[in-house]
Amino acid sequence: MSDAAAHVRVLVLDVDGVLTDGRLYYGPRGEALKVFHVRDGAGLKQLAAAGVTVAVISGRRSVMTRVRCRELGIRHVLQGVQDKAAALRTLCTRLRVEPADCACIGDDTPDIPLMRLTGLAYAVADAHAEARQAAHRVTTLPGGQGAVREVCDQLLAARQSGQRA
């Protein structure tokens, strides 16, 4: 496990295609539902308990995202963001961390500037080819199907090995 993973202080997540499978369900009144994987939530809670701040930066606005993040205790939820790199810089200033101390998980081209800014960038297995190419690592699982838990487990393992060293 890399040194970068052991020193991650903030994990930044996209939502659609990362925390969800990327499909958007619409009803007559607009977005009807999002499906989140329970293991992703458990991994995020474990990571937060280990001292890693979890944040969401999403290009879309969604009530379901706000509800899920509240349920998971994620306090830094930025939705409707057009410039994800600028949002990360602002968040880093607020949290007093450097972007190099952050990891992110993305799935598509709007995530690439964010991925290039962080110290450790992950793409989910079913990410757009350009996002996979921009990533330091690619998960074995697709978005919305345990990819976030996979990253959380890797970061937790790296923290534990770093503490033993």
Predicted local distance difference test score (pLDDT) of residue 24: 86
The count of residues in the chain is 165
Report phi then psi at 48, rounded to 5. Answer: -65, -40
Per-residue pLDDT of the chain (165 residues; tens, 9 = 90+): 457 888 899 999 999 999 999 998 888 887 778 899 999 999 999 999 999 999 999 999 999 999 999 999 999 999 999 999 999 999 999 999 999 999 999 999 999 999 999 999 999 999 999 999 999 999 999 999 999 999 999 999 998 887 543
The CATH number of 3-164 is which of 3.40.50.1370, 3.40.50.1000, 3.90.1150.10, 3.40.50.300? 3.40.50.1000
Predicted local distance difference test score (pLDDT) of residue 25: 84
Rounded Cα distance between 144 and 149, Å, is 10
Predicted local distance difference test score (pLDDT) of residue 2: 59
**Amino acid identity at 93:** T
| DSSP states along the chain | --HHHHT--EEEE-STTTTS-S--EEETTEEEE----HHHHHHHHHHHHTT-EEEEE-SS--HHHHHHHHHHT--EEE-S-S-HHHHHHHHHHHHT--GGGEEEEE-SGGGHHHHHHSSEEEE-TTS-HHHHHH-SEE-SSPTTTTHHHHHHHHHHHHHHHHHH-
Of 107, 154, 114, the residue nearest 132 (C-alpha): 107
Rounded Cα distance between 29 and 156, Å, is 40
pTM above 0.95, yes or no: no
Half-sphere exposure for 59 (CA within 13 Å, toward CB) = 17
Predicted local distance difference test score (pLDDT) of residue 163: 58
